[in-house]
């Protein structure tokens, strides 16, 4: 069992944020907590517990952790491209700094179902700031990519997607979002189509993702419509030390 420092979340919360990895129900958790507090002085600590081991969550609850999210890991095999010829959009890799602000604007406003936006113990701006930083990290990382969905009639970005290349044939889907004023118009599905087509073109065969079960639109889109298969699920608990 270890406590890993999460750099981006630490910058956003202006204090050390930790994630507990490889939770061990047989370990002395009180002693473990004392050690990571002494070493890191955290403001926020989280831990994912697989639902098949949900009894382990009771140990964390006894230590003051609270359930904040139910998360699902799912995967899809990428086989046949989608017909996107009728859609007046282009899916473009963001390679220039000048194209990034429009994507960051979407990322800062589009998410409303994540554990940071729903946490009443945190400032309401934390979620948007956090996602902007993760998109910025994807832009600068050699193994990640940022794409924007561009309306051909205006040249403006209406949606975005990010992913990480795990191997030559597999990706981890990271973030995706649509401009707030354009939600519920089908752009989320179109954005997915374009991303999958691009990945198929690059020889990618499989993609994995994590979503909040509270995000019903994405849950229904990916699992109900696109055919993602559920791999596992997690109870996400957190403790705030602010």
User: Domain spans of the chain?
Assistant: 2-71, 76-233
DSSP, collapsed to helix, strand or coil, labels residue 55 as coil
Mean residue pLDDT of the chain comes to 95
Q: What is the DSSP letter of 99?
A: G
In the prediction, which pLDDT does 39 show? 98
For 76-233, the fitting CATH number among 3.40.50.300, 3.40.630.30, 3.40.50.2300, 3.30.470.10 is: 3.40.630.30
Give the CB-side neighbour count of residue 123, counting CA atoms within 13 A.
Answer: 10
> Is residue 220 predicted with pLDDT exceeding 90?
no
DSSP, collapsed to helix, strand or coil, labels residue 21 as strand
DSSP, collapsed to helix, strand or coil, labels residue 127 as helix
Relative orientation angle of helices 100-110 and 126-140, to the nearest 10 degrees = 140
Model confidence band, residue 218 (pLDDT cutoffs 50, 70, 90):
confident
Query: What's the rounded mean pLDDT across residues 55-63?
Result: 97
**From CA 102, how far away is CA 139, in angstroms rounded?**
13
> Is residue 217 predicted with pLDDT exceeding 90?
no
The per-residue pLDDT for range 133-186, each reduced to its tens digit, is 999 999 999 999 999 999 999 999 999 999 999 999 999 999 999 999 988 889
In the prediction, which pLDDT does 140 show? 97
> Is residue 196 predicted with pLDDT exceeding 90?
yes
State which H helix or E strand residue 230 sits in: strand 229-240
> Is residue 101 predicted with pLDDT exceeding 90?
yes
The percentage of the chain sitting over the pLDDT mark of 90, rounded to a whole number, equals 88
The per-residue pLDDT for range 6-44, each reduced to its tens digit, is 999 999 999 999 999 999 999 999 999 999 999 999 999
In the prediction, which pLDDT does 141 show? 97
**From CA 34, how far away is CA 95, in angstroms rounded?**
44
In the block, residue with structure tokens 């309306």: 151
In the prediction, which pLDDT does 45 show? 98
Which residues 6+ apart lie within 8 Å of 86 measured at CB? Answer: none
In the prediction, which pLDDT does 225 show? 83
Query: What's the rounded mean pLDDT across residues 63-67?
Result: 97
In the prediction, which pLDDT does 99 show? 95
* Cβ–Cβ under 8 Å, residues 54 and 232: no
In the prediction, which pLDDT does 146 show? 98
> Is residue 124 predicted with pLDDT exceeding 90?
no
In the prediction, which pLDDT does 215 show? 85
In the prediction, which pLDDT does 80 show? 93
- How remote is the C-alpha of 103 from its chain's centroid? 15
């Amino acid at each position: 069992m270890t406590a890993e420092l999460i750099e981006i979340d630490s910058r956003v919360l202006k204090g050390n944020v930790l994630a507990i990895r490889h939770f061990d129900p047989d370990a002395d958790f009180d002693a473990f907590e004392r050690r990571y507090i002494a070493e890191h002085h955290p403001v926020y600590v989280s831990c994912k517990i697989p639902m098949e081991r949900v009894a382990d969550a009771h140990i964390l609850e006894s230590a003051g952790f609270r359930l904040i999210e139910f998360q699902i890991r799912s995967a899809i095999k990428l086989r046949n491209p989608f017909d996107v010829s009728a859609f007046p959009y282009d899916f473009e890799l963001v390679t220039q700094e000048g194209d990034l602000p429009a994507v960051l604007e979407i990322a800062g406003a589009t998410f409303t179902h994540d554990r940071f936006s729903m946490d009443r113990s945190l400032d309401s701006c934390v979620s948007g700031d956090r996602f902007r930083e993760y998109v910025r990290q994807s832009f600068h990382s050699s193994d990640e990519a940022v794409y924007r969905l561009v309306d051909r009639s205006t040249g403006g970005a209406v949606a975005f997607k990010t992913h990480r290349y795990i191997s030559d044939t597999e990706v981890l889907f990271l973030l995706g979002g649509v401009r707030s004023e354009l939600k519920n118009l089908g752009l989320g599905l179109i954005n997915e189509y374009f991303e999958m087509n691009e990945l198929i073109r690059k020889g990618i065969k499989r993609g994995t993702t994590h979503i909040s079960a509270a995000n019903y639109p994405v849950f229904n889109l990916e699992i109900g419509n696109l055919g993602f298969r559920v791999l596992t699920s997690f109870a996400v608990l957190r403790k705030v030390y602010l």
